[in-house]
Structure 1
Amino acid sequence: MNSLNELGDYQLTVRGLSDRIVEAQTPIRVLDAVKWDDTIRADFLKHKGKQLPAVDRDYYAGRPLAFDTAAKKLEFQNIERDITRQLGQFNPVGQIMRRMCREYRMVIRMLEARGTEDFGLISQDLYGAASDAFHAGDPTLSDLGLMFSEFLNNIDRRGDLEDEPKNLCAKQAVDLLQHRLNKVFGEAEETIRVFESDGILADAAAGADYIKIRTDAKFNERDVKALEVHEGLVHVATTLNGQNQPICTFLAKGPPSSTVTQEGLAILMEVIAFASYPTRLRKLTNRTRAIHMAEEGADFLQVCGFYREQGFSLEDSYSNASRAFRGSSPTGLPFTKDLSYLKGFIMVYNYIQLAVRKGKLEQIPLLFCGKTTLEDMRTLRQLVDEGLVVAPKYLPPQFSDLNSLSAWMCFSNFLNHLSLDRIEADYANIL
């Protein structure tokens, strides 16, 4: 990594502006700001799921943000203005940094609107809506969720693809995951820590150099493999690669636009590493369907009922439904971040497929050079050529050797031209 005294004036200017963005976003913690505390859960369970959670604008007012929102928005506005002053209107890296400043200001406005209708509307601007189409004339995310549900229902009817027993407690999962990550990041200067936590909603969550495992969660070895590739090989790796950037330090931090790309990349890694499975896919599909229900007017009790109908306990149904309504109200528009998984998977998959078709394989590993966003990939290629961005140090084996991935995508490109309806008709007598 280049030291600061080895950088030229232009590089130092970019580094200085980039560092200001990283510093400014430090106190913004979206998931901490929108989560519901344990008293809401306890009260909901006490009333046996018959009453809406007592969450409104006043509830969030009692949980103030850790920063002055007006001052923070002004800080990002000043950074954006200085980017234009120092780099010009059309400078490529400047355009990325200005968009990040605008996104962070929008994030702050969303957090200011917690408990109101504006929260959900701004969330849709940042993360998308279930009714969004991928491309003109294509199915929407909600269509994808329904289609996947139909496929998964057909699999469930078999009855012989049951999940392995979840016989690993959190401590055992921590030990096993730590062992596997030590093999991947063994030579890393940074130590990747895996530890238990009782303060997270999901089974696991990744930070800059750590992965937290929920204390009361149960796992099997397939779960641990999924965590290894999803949290470790993608989320931790892209953070470390971003921290290794000598100039574009902003790549270590991810605004909402990068969340879609990073979660999509993580799900793709699960698939190509054969770490995913129907129950895991069902979880992602349910999240998409829950958000679509809320967008269509369903309240918390109706979304909770959707999970209950699938056999989830009342407590698990509460946890799942609360993901869709956190930051909002039990009758408001949803928090749409959980669309990032399936939406991002489709977008990243299409991007890699097109890169293979066009013979631009060198673009693909750059997805891992930090918290990247798909719309910036051409610019990142240019920034690598200019020496402003360094190639990723940590890459999953599937992306460090693109032979197998390229071959798979070549077949996939051809298969996309075949009609599944025609195949189904022609294969009717043999399947």
Structure 2
Amino acid sequence: MPLDPYQQTVRDLSDRLVEAQAPIRILDAVKWDDSVRRAFLASGGQRLPEVDRSYYHTRPLAFDAEAKKREFQEIERDITRQLGQFSPVGQIMRRMCREYRMVIRMLEARGTSDFGLISQELYGAASDAFHAGDPTLADLGLMLSDYLNNIASRGDLADEPKTLNAAQAVEILQWRLDRVFGEGEGEGVVRVFESDGIVADAAAGADYIKIRSDAMFNERDLQALEVHEGLVHVGTTLNGLNQPICTFLAKGPPTSTVTQEGLAILMEVIAFASYPSRLRKLTNRTRAIHMAEEGADFIDVYRFFLAQGYGEDDSYGNASRVFRGSAPDGLPFTKDLSYLKGFILIYNYIQLAVRQGKLEQIPLLFCGKATLEDMRTLRQLVEEGLVAPPKYLPAQFRDLNALSAWMCFSNFLNHLSLDRVEADYANIL
């Protein structure tokens, strides 16, 4: 169906925004090359990595920063001129323009304290409270660590041996995702394949999941990858790519990362795909970022991960996630807070949607790379026909019966005092 003049204007502006952000690759711009790892481990973990502002100057950005900021400024100006100051869809796109300019300023500040400060504006800080007087993310990390320590010694909760190689993982994941996303001509809508060029065990793209060729997996790993990378990250990207007008929903700015990662962790939980060692990984990342915010340097964080039972390579990898883009004694890159922070925010959103009887807003989380702040506006845009409802939805969000029942119980249980319950159950547990 052809677009009317207003819809075409929105589509044209949206396409400009998508095109403008294309060369901005945050993780590529902040990562450290392997020579840094080799030098640090060769020193026995005794010398800070030699990463400073001059190091990042040897790895220039893939775009002209000043020209790119002007481009986003011009798009923002044209959004206001063509859609008006109070257009709901225009407000979303203008915020995205401002956020991308902030991203560019952060990348220009690599190796300086400004990098960490801007990171905190985009992703938050571990010391942020969810609500006035409530615990912070750092408090949550410590609390979860206490719970995990209580069950750490149980042999029946230990990770199963990783006996599945990359080829087997590809075959299993491809079959599972074909059941969800369907099959195209000769291949699945979502492709799963091996790759030698990634650091993580797996990585998701727009319509694919790459599996590192030398990685090994167990069944729990594949369940988590299916849910986290497949059903959420690839699913929301495909739903964004299916948008006929608001094409910007296929590309999320940093604030959407918190919503997307939180949704992915929630999906792991409600699909029973999560497990203690995975939760410990997320908890340790939060604690490490808080350490760096409080003044710990790279060696301190590296030793923290060693004390948590990680090997030297994994401890280096985890510590480098905290300081990438920054300096080894600078403020941290706080993106990894997105997992636990996003989980709490998404959980609260769904809980309130159930309490208020607004179930129709829950599936909108999958419309694309959206943010929680845009949910009310997205509902309005769906009603206006500017945004298409999500085509791909996990079973738990297609039929909201079980999720609604869980949230109804949860709303009541939140009013109970866990300390009082623990005292009452002391003689039976």
Shorter-chain TM range is over 0.9
Residue 197 to residue 329, structure 1, CA distance change in 2 (3 Å): farther
Decide which moves more: 230-239 or 168-177.
168-177
Decide which moves more: 162-171 or 225-234.
162-171
Matched, 1:10 2:6: yes
Equivalent of residue 380 in structure 1, options 360, 378, 381: 378
Give the alignment's Cα RMSD to 1 decimal.
Answer: 1.1
Residue by residue, what CA displacement relative to the aligned partner does 1:367-410 show, whole Å, maximum 9, x if unpaired? Answer: 00100100000000000000000100000000000000000100
Displacement, 1:134?
Answer: 0.5
Matched, 1:73 2:77: no
- The equivalent residue for 2:242 is 244
1: CA distance between counterparts of 2:298 and 2:196?
A: 24
Displacement, 1:237?
Answer: 0.5
- The equivalent residue for 2:311 is 313
Matched, 1:122 2:129: no
1: CA distance between counterparts of 2:97 and 2:256?
A: 13
Residue by residue, what CA displacement relative to the aligned partner does 1:154-212 show, whole Å, maximum 9, x if unpaired? Answer: 01133331111111222221221112112211246873121223333332211101112
2: CA distance between counterparts of 1:364 and 1:188?
A: 29
- The equivalent residue for 2:361 is 363
Matched, 1:101 2:66: no
Matches within 5 A, 1:204-215: 204-215=202-213
Matches within 5 A, 1:12-411: 12-187=8-183, 191-411=189-409
1: CA distance between counterparts of 2:252 and 2:198?
A: 19
2: CA distance between counterparts of 1:195 and 1:29?
A: 22
Displacement, 1:125?
Answer: 0.3
2: CA distance between counterparts of 1:159 and 1:182?
A: 35
Residue by residue, what CA displacement relative to the aligned partner does 1:213-260 show, whole Å, maximum 9, x if unpaired? Answer: 223322101100100000000000000000000000000001011100
2:153 counterpart letter in structure 1: R
2: CA distance between counterparts of 1:357 and 1:293?
A: 37
Residue by residue, what CA displacement relative to the aligned partner does 1:100-145 show, whole Å, maximum 9, x if unpaired? Answer: 0000000000111111111100000000000000111110000000
Residue 164 of structure 2 aligns to a residue in which SS? Answer: coil
1: CA distance between counterparts of 2:197 and 2:51?
A: 19
Residue 129 of structure 1 aligns to a residue in which SS? Answer: coil
2: CA distance between counterparts of 1:105 and 1:11?
A: 26
Task: Work out whether residues 260 and 341 of structure 1, in 8 Å CA contact, stay in contact via their aligned partners in 2.
Answer: yes
Residue by residue, what CA displacement relative to the aligned partner does 1:318-343 show, whole Å, maximum 9, x if unpaired? Answer: 01111111111110100000000000
Aligned length: 427
Tell me, which stretches of 5 or more residues in structure 2 are unaligned?
none
Task: Work out whether residues 270 and 276 of structure 1, in 8 Å CA contact, stay in contact via their aligned partners in 2.
Answer: yes
1:254 counterpart letter in structure 2: G
Residue by residue, what CA displacement relative to the aligned partner does 1:289-328 show, whole Å, maximum 9, x if unpaired? Answer: 0100000000000000001011211111001111111111
Residue 129 of structure 2 aligns to a residue in which SS? Answer: coil
Task: Work out whether residues 165 and 217 of structure 2, in 8 Å CA contact, stay in contact via their aligned partners in 1.
Answer: yes
Residue 198 to residue 332, structure 1, CA distance change in 2 (3 Å): farther
2: CA distance between counterparts of 1:159 and 1:169?
A: 24
Task: Work out whether residues 201 and 319 of structure 1, in 8 Å CA contact, stay in contact via their aligned partners in 2.
Answer: no
Residue 157 of structure 1 aligns to a residue in which SS? Answer: coil
Task: Work out whether residues 183 and 189 of structure 2, in 8 Å CA contact, stay in contact via their aligned partners in 1.
Answer: no
Residue 160 of structure 1 aligns to a residue in which SS? Answer: helix
2: CA distance between counterparts of 1:416 and 1:391?
A: 32
Tell me, which stretches of 5 or more residues in structure 1 are unaligned?
none
1:306 counterpart letter in structure 2: F
Decide which moves more: 47-56 or 119-128.
47-56
Residue 152 of structure 2 aligns to a residue in which SS? Answer: helix
2: CA distance between counterparts of 1:84 and 1:295?
A: 38
Residue 205 of structure 1 aligns to a residue in which SS? Answer: strand
TM-score after normalising by structure 2: 0.98
Displacement, 1:49?
Answer: 1.3
Decide which moves more: 132-141 or 207-216.
207-216
1: CA distance between counterparts of 2:156 and 2:229?
A: 29
2: CA distance between counterparts of 1:198 and 1:287?
A: 25
